[in-house]
Structure formats: structure tokens, C-alpha cells
Copies of this chain bind each other. A is one copy, B any other.
């Protein structure tokens, strides 16, 4: 039987002590453990995380446009990134999980870790006001934001995907129009980006073929990096 740590040390690391301890407890409770679980808090936390990180990026990168800010934020708050932050906090040691999740290693599962981290942000907002949530989030993300090299992080995703595939001797991705709707200037294109050999297909929408392709390519590259962390498959 695994032991769940009480959240005192976690709160020290976060730099915030909850007035209502039931809120941090709820944030650390997976739905498999109890009916009062962290999913509603995660909804609030996801929103405050996006807002705080968005504002920090706005201030830190005065020359970037909104699309670029949006892409940087997406990379900071994607499940994989949040799970990394959660791992650094040893969040898994504080989680209340049901029997099945415990046995299958739920306290190391990226989705469970990322959701609990967001729930903590939401709980902090409800407990201590917006500034409480903001200070926890900024403490965890400020170094990540400051270490972003926009030129590298914002490399055109189609190029980055192409380079990733070529380095592994794979064929180029296929881009196809899935849907085209509306009238100028409100056209919407939906493009797919497929890499059949690696069983990845993504879809994205944008106001032009090119913008939708870039988004789909960026998502495909993200999926490939998650699917094949470290050594990636080369074509035989």
C-alpha cells in the first residue's frame, strides 16, 4: 500500500499555504478516489494558468504578435510540459488515487499529474484570490518563460516538422484540404497533416491554407515528440 504525503511540504514549495485545507486536498484528489475530486477545480485552474502565462508572455515579448504568443503559450501549458512541472514538485507523492489507478501507476501518468497541477492553481484562486494563483504560477513558470528563445521556439512549424522527419529518413508529410468554408474575409480552411508511416494525422483550422497547415504541422510535431521522446524511429 502506498503512502500519500500530507500536503504541508508541497505548500512550502509552492510558496502558498491554503486557508482552506480542504481545497488543496480536493485539488490532489483524482476522480477515481472520491466523489469530491479535482475536475471542476481543474477547469478553473486551466483558465487562470492560461491567463497568467499569457500576460507574462505579453509583457516579456513585446515584439511578438498574438499568433506567436499563442504558440509559445501552447508549448508551455501542454500536458507534457505541465507533467514535467508536476514531476519537479513530486506531485505524484501527494495524489489521492483509486485502487485501480494506483496499481497501474496513475501517480506517474502525465494526464493525471497535469490535471492535478491545474487544479491546484484553481484551488489557489478560490482560496486566496487571483494574486495567490498568479504568484504560484509565476514562481513555477518564470524561468521557463525567461529561457524561451523565440527565434528557435517559433521556427516555422512546417520547416521544423520537415527537418525532424528528414533527420529520421522519413517521407515528407502530406497536407490536404479537409474543409473550406465561409467567404472572404472570414474564410476558414481546415487542413490535415499526415505522416502515415508514423501513424500521425492532425487537423487544424486557419484563415488561410498556409496558416492551417502551419498549425497542423506544429501539432503533428508535438505529437511525434511526445510519442517518440528521446530516440525516435528511423525508417528501416
The chain A residues found within 8 Å of chain B, CB to CB, are: 39-40, 42-44, 47-48, 50-51, 54-55, 58, 64-66, 69-70, 109, 111, 122, 125-126, 130-131, 134, 178-179, 181, 186, 190, 199-201, 203
- 9 cross-chain pairs, A with B, having the tightest CB-CB distances, nearest first: A43-B66, A47-B54, A47-B51, A51-B51, A130-B130, A39-B66, A47-B50, A44-B58, A48-B51
Asked, given contacts A190-B203, A201-B179, A203-B190, whether A54 binds B65 with beta carbons under 8 Å apart, the answer is no
Q: What are 6 A-B pairs with beta-carbon distances under 8 A? A: A40-B58, A43-B54, A43-B58, A43-B70, A58-B122, A130-B130
Best-surrounded residue of A40, A42, A70 (most CB of chain B within 10 A): A40
Closest-by-CB residue of B relative to A199 is: B181
CB neighbours of A43 from chain B (8 A): 54, 58, 66, 69-70
Minimal beta-carbon separation of A141 from chain B (angstroms): 14
CB neighbours of A39 from chain B (8 A): 65-66
Asked, given contacts A190-B203, A203-B203, whether A66 binds B50 with beta carbons under 8 Å apart, the answer is no
CA distance A69 to B47 in the complex (A): 12
Minimal beta-carbon separation of A60 from chain B (angstroms): 12
Closest-by-CB residue of B relative to A100 is: B185
Q: Judging by beta carbons under 8 Å apart, are B54 and A66 in contact? A: no
Q: Among B50, B69, B109, B122, which residue has its beta carbon within 8 angstroms of that of A40?
A: B69
CA distance A166 to B205 in the complex (A): 29
CB neighbours of A199 from chain B (8 A): 181
CB neighbours of A200 from chain B (8 A): 181
Asked, given contacts A54-B47, A55-B125, whether A111 binds B40 with beta carbons under 8 Å apart, the answer is no
CA distance A122 to B57 in the complex (A): 13
